[in-house]
């Protein structure tokens, strides 16, 4: 689990159960995407809650979940203001 400690002391991460996040303090958990089936049985990852694209379609839900996690780690986890020249915004 990647955790980013921001200058104000808040922590940013993709929610997981690897660590007991309650030990960090008051939690504020928000949805980063919606992984949903399409009418034809495919899957998409809609990242509009974080101003991202719709990824897919994918053949399986697990493929959509993997793409969702990769996109969030690459584009959302580290805020644009903290990204250096070697990190895309």
Both tokens assigned to 71: 């996109």
Q: Is residue 86 one of the residues assigned to a domain?
A: no
- Residue 7 in any domain: the answer is yes
User: What does the pLDDT look like over 19-70, one tens digit per residue?
Assistant: 998 888 888 888 889 999 999 999 999 999 999 999 999 999 999 999 999 9
Which single residue is written with the structure tokens 């793409």? 67
Structure-model confidence comparison of residues 7 and 89, the more confident one: 7
Whether residue 74 is contained in a domain is answered as yes
Calculate the alpha carbon distances from 64 to 8, 18, 26, 38 in Å.
33, 21, 30, 12
| Cα–Cα nearest to 53, from 31, 75, 36, 38 | 75
Please provide the distance, in angstroms rounded to a whole number, between the alpha carbons at the two ends of the chain: 21
- Other Cβ atoms closer than 10 A to 44: 20
What residue numbers bound the domain in which 72 lies? 3-78
The pLDDT-based confidence of 86 (bands split at 50, 70, 90) is very low
Q: 66 lies in a domain?
A: yes
Report if residue 87 sits inside a domain.
Answer: no
pLDDT tens-digit readout, 43-53: 999 999 999 99
> The pTM is what?
0.78
């Amino acid at each position: 689990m990647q955790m980013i400690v921001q200058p104000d002391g808040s922590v940013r991460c993709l929610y997981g159960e690897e660590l007991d996040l309650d030990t960090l303090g008051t939690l504020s958990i928000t949805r980063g995407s919606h992984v949903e089936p399409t009418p034809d049985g495919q899957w998409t990852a809609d990242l509009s809650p974080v101003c991202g694209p719709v990824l897919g379609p994918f053949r399986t839900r697990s493929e959509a979940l993997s793409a969702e996690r990769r996109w969030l780690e690459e584009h959302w986890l580290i805020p644009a203001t903290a990204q250096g020249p070697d990190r895309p915004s």
